[in-house]
Amino acid sequence: MSTAVGREELHRLESIWAEKPGLRTFLTTVDHKKIGTRYLVTSFAFFVAAGLEALSMRTQLAVPDAGAIGPKAYDELFSMHGTTMIFLFVTPMLNGFGNYMVPLQIGARDMAFPRMNALSYWIYLASGIFLYSSFLLGSAPNDGWFNYTPLAEKAFTPGLNIDFYNLGLLFLTVSSTVGATNFLVTIFKLRAPGMSLNRIPLFCWAMAAQSFSLIFALPALSVANIFLELERRFDFHFFDRAHGGDALLWQHLFWIFGHPDVYIIFLPAVGIVSTVVPVFARRSMIAHDWLALATMATAFIGFGVWVHHMFATGLSNVTYAFYSAASMVIVIPSGVQIFGWLATVLKGRPVIRSPFLYILGFIVTFVIGGVTGVMFAAIPFDQQITDSYFVVAHFHYVLFGGAVFPIFAGIHYWFPKITGRMLDERLATWSFWLFFVGFNLTFFPMHILGLLGEPRRVYTYHPGFGWGLWNLLSTIGSFTLAVGILGTVVNVIWSRSSGAAAGDDPWGANTLEWATSSPPPEYNFPSIPVVHSVDPNWDVDDRRDDARRLEHAELTLSGGHETIGTDWLDADIEEIHEGPSESPWPLLLALTLSWFFVAFLAGHWVLAGIGVGLIAVAVGGWHLKEPGE
């Protein structure tokens, strides 16, 4: 029963938070839900692009001596496939879910820095376009997604390919760093009252672990990119032996970023798993505390294993010992997570729906990938199968299994919340099985091919090695997988307008995003929820109290773009935070950064210098208008 006070509060909130539809809002929005949706759509588009690159490669490799794609084009394809999938698809897609759901799950009205949120999206889009424009110039990155020196140095790859790589990644890094800062401050300072550290949802723990990892790992990549670009453009020396440099320095710097990067990808994805499992097992997550710990421990130990990517480079055995030990021990927290999920499913009463199907698919594929991963920790074995298709099989099982399956679970789970409609279950089920069978048919044969000696990154192979049949099966699998993905795309597009109405909480879920409407109103919650357990949406009394508070205008924070700020440990109320409304500066700053990177790529130093000036102006403009003015 709503009171006049309650209705008045709602009316006030609506008028404060409303963003008028139109081009202006499109370019200036700071709403985390709109930005999250953009991340999801844009990253899926990059997924399709990278998928097409993969299908081209699989077509070429279907039979020996195919002759469909030459070596130079093939080099660009595998390099861009890897770079796109890692940098432009998985992490941004997971950040899209994070952007949309984290504020909702913690009971906040937006991220801590809404304009920086918009900025990180625009930079992501600009850097993706920047990287893909390399195809138009016939100079896409072509030295693999990890771009080893000396091949990546000017002497061996003189074209713009690697400059696109270096500058594109430096550009993207700004977005990722800004985003990580935003998530950390949001998760630690904007939680609902009562949401102490032990009540933080596992998806938010995952986003926090990912963000810490980004903060500490990205600089290593940036230093590598800066060093290489200084070498290529200004003849500095870092990696060339002839002038006192060392080619392995690139590998160290790259993998100091690169290994944590796999956890940057993996942890939010399994955060989605941890979100979906309790809902479909119909019980609270067993050992919630341990899974939170496992998330943070995996991220931390992940910083100490990078040399396992270099076991074949001839370093000292004592050096190897450090990283081999850590590579084995890192399995422990992952194991804890798997057992936690399995125990929850086994002790619950599972309900099989499409999100849960993808979770089951994830468990199977990720465990297979994990098993082959532990095999690599044994240096003698690693040195035998390094750079072969066995490696390709392993990382696709862990990446596809460990990230893409959960992403698809997330799509099916959260589609109702974002759109207010349900996906079609039958189409979703058919798509899942094509996806699952296609995936395994594509990548399982690669284990065998690796053991039979097929190297990775070769554009063709001759008959007589016994590789033809397995490659053909793999190609058939890849097209099957593509059809499965297409099924989901069709489902999403069709259901947006014609799906069944979802209501607030179609799954009967336990986290706070389901405590508000689908899609949520601009202000997320009419009154800030107060939380007393780890499954707040199952605490019916608490949610009734939220409604009661609205009717008394308590914790409605309707004085402006307000959300509550709480203490990071126990979530006691500290203050009210006032945030910005629409602003043009994120887009403008992203454009000035684009100017700088394009000018630098083209070697126009004067224009690049002007770009630096414009960036300074944009930063100044950003801070010109202050809240309350």
Partner 1 sequence: MSEQLAVPVALQRGRPLGYWGMLMLIATEAVLFGAIIASYFYIRFRTPHWPPPGVPEPKVLHPLLLTVVLIVSSLPAGIASWAARRQLPGRAAWGLFGTIALAAIYAAGTLVVMVHAWHKVGAQHDAYDSLFFTLQGAHVAHVAAGILINLYLLVKISRGRLTQYRINGIWAMSLYWHFVNVLAVFVLLTTISPSL
Partner 2 sequence: MIERRRSLVLWFGVGAPPLAWAIQLFAGWMLDEARCGDGGMRWGIDDHLWEGIISGCAIAAAGVGVAAAVSSLLAVRGGGGDARGRAAFLALTSLSAGLVFLFLTILTLVGVLWLEPCSG
Question: If binding is defined by CB under 8 A, does position 627 make contact with partner 1?
Answer: yes
Question: If binding is defined by CB under 8 A, does position 193 make contact with partner 1?
Answer: yes
Answer for the pair 290, 222: CB distance below 8 angstroms, yes or no.
no
Residue 574 binding partner per list partner 1, partner 2, none, with a CB distance cut-off of 5 to 8 Å that depends on partner kind: partner 1
For residue 27, the number of C-alpha atoms closer than 13 Å in the C-beta half-sphere is 9
Residue 530 binding partner per list partner 1, partner 2, none, with a CB distance cut-off of 5 to 8 Å that depends on partner kind: partner 1
User: Which listed residue (103, 179, 268, 304) binds partner 2 by CB under 8 A?
Assistant: 304
Question: If binding is defined by CB under 8 A, does position 570 make contact with partner 1?
Answer: no
User: Whose Cβ is closer to partner 1: residue 71's or residue 613's?
Assistant: 613
Answer for the pair 308, 377: CB distance below 8 angstroms, yes or no.
yes
CB of 628 to partner 1, least distance (A): 8
User: Which listed residue (15, 26, 319, 351) binds partner 2 by CB under 8 A?
Assistant: 319
Stretch that binds partner 1, among 82-90, 423-431, 481-489, 560-568 (CB under 8 A): 560-568
Answer for the pair 377, 311: CB distance below 8 angstroms, yes or no.
no
Residue 110 binding partner per list partner 1, partner 2, none, with a CB distance cut-off of 5 to 8 Å that depends on partner kind: none
Question: If binding is defined by CB under 8 A, does position 343 make contact with partner 2?
Answer: no
Both tokens of residue 268? 């939010």
User: Which listed residue (223, 287, 472, 591) binds partner 1 by CB under 8 A?
Assistant: 223
Both tokens of residue 550? 């609205």
User: Whose Cβ is closer to partner 2: residue 195's or residue 598's?
Assistant: 195
What are the two backbone dihedrals, phi and then psi, of residue 559, each rounded to the nearest 5 degrees? Answer: -85, -5
CA pair distance 185, 31, nearest whole angstrom: 17
Question: If binding is defined by CB under 8 A, does position 21 make contact with partner 2?
Answer: no
Residue 197 binding partner per list partner 1, partner 2, none, with a CB distance cut-off of 5 to 8 Å that depends on partner kind: partner 2
Q: Could you give the dihedral angle defined by the CA atoms of residues 530, 535, 538 and 543, in that order, rounded to the nearest 10 degrees?
A: 10
User: Which listed residue (329, 374, 427, 576) binds partner 2 by CB under 8 A?
Assistant: 329
CA pair distance 273, 202, nearest whole angstrom: 9
- Distance of alpha carbon 26 from its chain centroid, rounded? 23
User: Which listed residue (21, 22, 67, 314) binds partner 2 by CB under 8 A?
Assistant: 314
Question: If binding is defined by CB under 8 A, does position 314 make contact with partner 1?
Answer: no
What are the two backbone dihedrals, phi and then psi, of residue 80, each rounded to the nearest 5 degrees? Answer: -70, -30
- List Cα–Cα distances, 166 to 169, 182, 225, 533, in angstroms: 5, 25, 5, 46
Answer for the pair 324, 377: CB distance below 8 angstroms, yes or no.
yes
Q: Which helix (H) or strand (E) holds 595?
A: helix 585-602
Stretch that binds partner 2, among 76-84, 138-146, 430-438, 566-574 (CB under 8 A): 566-574
Q: Residue 135: exposed, middle, or buried by beta-carbon count in 10 A (0-12, 13-18, 19+)? A: middle
**Those residues with Cβ within 8 angstroms of residue 56's Cβ, 6 or more apart along the chain or in another chain:** 69, 77
Answer for the pair 3, 68: CB distance below 8 angstroms, yes or no.
no
Q: What is the DSSP letter of 506?
A: T
Residue 235 binding partner per list partner 2, partner 1, none, with a CB distance cut-off of 5 to 8 Å that depends on partner kind: partner 1
Question: If binding is defined by CB under 8 A, does position 574 make contact with partner 1?
Answer: yes
Q: Which of 456, 448, 501, 335 is nearest to 81 (CA)?
A: 456
Q: Rule CB under 8 A: which of 234-293 touch partner 2?
A: 289-290, 292-293
User: Whose Cβ is closer to partner 1: residue 71's or residue 319's?
Assistant: 319
Contacts with partner 1 by CB under 8 A lie at: 112-113, 116, 177, 180-182, 184-185, 188-189, 193-194, 215-216, 218-220, 222-223, 226-227, 230-231, 234-238, 240, 243-246, 249, 252-253, 256, 530, 532, 545, 549, 554-555, 557, 564-565, 567, 573-577, 616, 620, 623, 626-628
Contacts with partner 2 by CB under 8 A lie at: 194, 196-199, 289-290, 292-293, 296-297, 300-301, 303-304, 307, 314-322, 324-326, 328-329, 332-333, 569-571
